[in-house]
């Protein structure tokens, strides 16, 4: 690695068996269409030379791999468990082949709550450095007591939990995101708005449920500059008074939440993030292959940090510390 390495987390991949499984459910997740746009599918399935070449072109030394949305959460419990295990085995094999270039986040069978801890433990033992989940599995929210053993295990194992956006529920889509042509409906419910609100609500619900009070060492990661949450803290900080929590939302944000860029290299977002949390809570990511910033765009963004020390924290040190990566 260079003197100032660059680690990107939230770099997506997919395996064909997962795609087939997701396509076979009665109502397939419509956001699968994004995986098939352009050459995304080819890039998502590449855990070798093509991906590494793309990293080299961007100046990225290491990618932390994560299964692309919607993961296996829409699948029936038995199939979700089988495909989680297969995905974790495949990602671990990719890391073993390229140990200086890849690390990986595990995939978990969240539709089978009783199997989640076992697979998290197995994945951690294999070397996965954290996990990626979504805010809801069917009608079961991530803050449901059924998942408390999962958060307890994640905290004890030192496995950070990345909460990624997902397509809002049918009821929410019907209420708020329809009325246009099908693709505009989908865009509004996903990358244009709905994805991000859905993920932020998942984290707010965990805070209000007391998850971080029960598990104070638990670390959660949100992409896209905190999925709107960092930009609405003044209002969100009124919630604990009503919910009877001892800590403010801002306090949870500063002590239990990391945020990534997800390829949104906007210096205005950086300045706001630094005004509400600390630089040691910010991590670089590109959201590959859906966002593909060039090396020049990445370097230009890194120049907005006020010091070499802060730039190093953001580009590698924070991710290395959080995920136990030697740099």
* pLDDT one-digit tens code per residue, 20-65: 999 999 999 999 999 999 999 999 999 999 999 999 999 999 999 9
Q: For all residues of the chain together, what is the average pLDDT?
A: 96
Q: Rounded CA gap, 163 and 178, in Å? A: 25
In sequence order, the 6+-apart residues with CB closer than 8 A to the CB of 17 are: 83, 86
Res. 123: pLDDT tops 70: yes
* pLDDT one-digit tens code per residue, 124-177: 999 999 999 999 999 999 999 999 999 999 999 999 999 999 999 999 999 999
Q: Rounded CA gap, 258 and 205, in Å? A: 17
The band of 246, judged by pLDDT with boundaries at 50, 70 and 90, is: confident
Across 247-276, average pLDDT: 97
| Of 182, 199, 178, 142, residue with least CA distance to 31 | 182
| pTM of the full structure | 0.96
| Of 224, 298, 299, residue with least CA distance to 257 | 224
Q: Is the peptide bond before 70 cis (omega within 30 degrees of 0)?
A: yes
Res. 115: pLDDT tops 60: yes
- With a pLDDT cut of 90, the percent of the chain lying above it is 97
Res. 3: pLDDT tops 70: no
Chain centroid to Cα 37, Å, comes to 21
Q: Rounded CA gap, 103 and 183, in Å? A: 34
pLDDT of residue 327: 80
């Amino acid at each position: 690695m260079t003197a100032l390495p660059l680690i990107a987390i939230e770099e997506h991949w997919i395996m064909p068996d997962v795609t087939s499984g997701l396509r076979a459910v009665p109502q397939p997740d419509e956001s699968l269409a994004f995986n098939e746009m352009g050459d995304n599918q080819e890039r998502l399935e590449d855990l070798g030379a093509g991906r590494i070449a793309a990293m080299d072109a961007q100046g990225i030394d290491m990618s932390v791999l994560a299964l692309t949305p919607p993961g296996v959460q829409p699948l029936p419990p038995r199939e979700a468990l089988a495909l989680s295990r297969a995905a974790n085995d495949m990602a671990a094999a990719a890391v073993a082949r390229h140990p200086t270039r890849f690390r990986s986040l595990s995939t978990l069978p969240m539709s089978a709550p009783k199997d989640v801890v076992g697979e998290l433990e197995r994945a951690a033992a294999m070397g996965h450095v954290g996990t990626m989940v979504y805010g809801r599995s069917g009608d079961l929210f991530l803050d449901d007591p059924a998942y408390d053993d999962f958060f307890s295990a994640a905290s004890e194992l030192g496995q950070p939990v990345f909460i990624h956006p997902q397509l809002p529920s049918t009821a929410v889509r019907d209420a708020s995101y329809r009325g246009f042509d099908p693709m505009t409906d989908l865009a509004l419910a996903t990358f244009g708005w709905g994805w991000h609100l859905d993920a932020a609500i998942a984290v707010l619900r965990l805070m209000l449920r007391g998850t971080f009070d029960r598990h104070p060492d638990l670390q959660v990661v949100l992409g896209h500059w905190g999925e709107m949450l960092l930009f609405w803290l003044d209002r969100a900080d009124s919630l604990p008074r009503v919910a009877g929590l001892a800590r403010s939302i801002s306090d949870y944000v500063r002590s239990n939440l990391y945020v990534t860029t997800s390829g949104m290299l906007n210096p205005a977002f950086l300045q706001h993030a630094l005004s509400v949390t600390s630089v040691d809570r910010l991590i670089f990511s590109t959201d590959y292959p859906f966002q593909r910033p060039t090396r020049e765009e990445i370097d230009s963004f890194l120049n907005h940090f006020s010091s070499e020390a802060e730039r190093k924290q953001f580009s590698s040190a924070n991710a290395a510390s959080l995920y136990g990566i030697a740099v």
